[in-house]
């Protein structure tokens, strides 16, 4: 489990312990008369002898402190940001520029592939027909062979990209559904 998930889990633990501690203190606190104008509050029901009411708040508070210390240890284990905020912003800008460059290159490749496919379609017959039944395109023209190979590569790459994109979309939809379920059911993530 990564450090962020451990931190989230520890926050949940601290919150649960705090909730239980406060609830137990409230439940077991002796009644107190707020004003002499009010009647004496009723006494708490008898408590099981096996539970030591004096020790229970100490145990709960010790668990709460232990969980808080574990949280502090996890925070201390986080990697330090190198160079401060300015360096991080510069790194983000560099990564964004790199991402934009790669995106432009992929866009150019996509446009080239679409152009090649359009060129083949304008000839009026499918690629397999040009390769099998029209050997003059492949034999008489090196450019024709290169064009067909590029078209086949482009079509294959487009199919692969579409398959990957569809798979990632399904994964995102599944994770989103799990997150919604967890939020609605107040359930801890697995």
pTM recorded for the entire structure: 0.41
Q: CB within 8 A of 9, min separation 6: which ones?
A: 1, 188
Domain extents in the chain: 3-32+49-77, 124-190
Residue 46, class by beta-carbon neighbours within 10 Å (0-12 exposed, 13-18 middle, 19+ buried)?
Answer: exposed
pLDDT in tens, the chain (190 residues): 888 899 999 999 999 999 998 888 888 877 887 788 888 877 776 666 556 777 888 888 899 999 999 999 999 888 776 777 888 888 889 999 999 898 888 888 888 877 777 776 666 555 444 444 444 443 444 455 556 666 666 767 777 777 777 777 778 778 777 776 776 666 555 5
């Amino acid at each position: 489990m990564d450090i962020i998930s451990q931190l989230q889990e520890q926050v949940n633990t601290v919150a649960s312990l705090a909730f239980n501690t406060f609830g137990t203190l409230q439940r077991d606190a002796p009644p107190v008369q707020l004003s002499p104008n009010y009647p004496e509050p009723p006494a708490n029901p008898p408590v099981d002898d096996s539970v030591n009411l004096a020790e229970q708040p100490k145990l709960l508070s010790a668990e709460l402190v232990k969980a808080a210390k574990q949280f502090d240890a996890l925070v201390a284990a986080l990697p330090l940001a190198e160079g401060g905020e300015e360096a991080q912003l510069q790194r983000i800008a560099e990564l964004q520029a790199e991402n934009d460059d790669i995106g432009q290159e992929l866009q150019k490749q996509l446009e080239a592939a679409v152009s090649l496919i359009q060129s083949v379609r304008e000839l009026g017959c499918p690629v397999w027909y040009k390769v099998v039944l029209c050997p003059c395109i492949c034999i008489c023209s090196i450019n024709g062979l290169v064009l067909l190979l590029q078209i086949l590569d482009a079509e294959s790459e487009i199919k692969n990209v579409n398959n990957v994109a569809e798979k990632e979309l399904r994964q995102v939809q599944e994770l989103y559904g799990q997150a919604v379920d967890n939020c609605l059911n107040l359930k801890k993530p697995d």
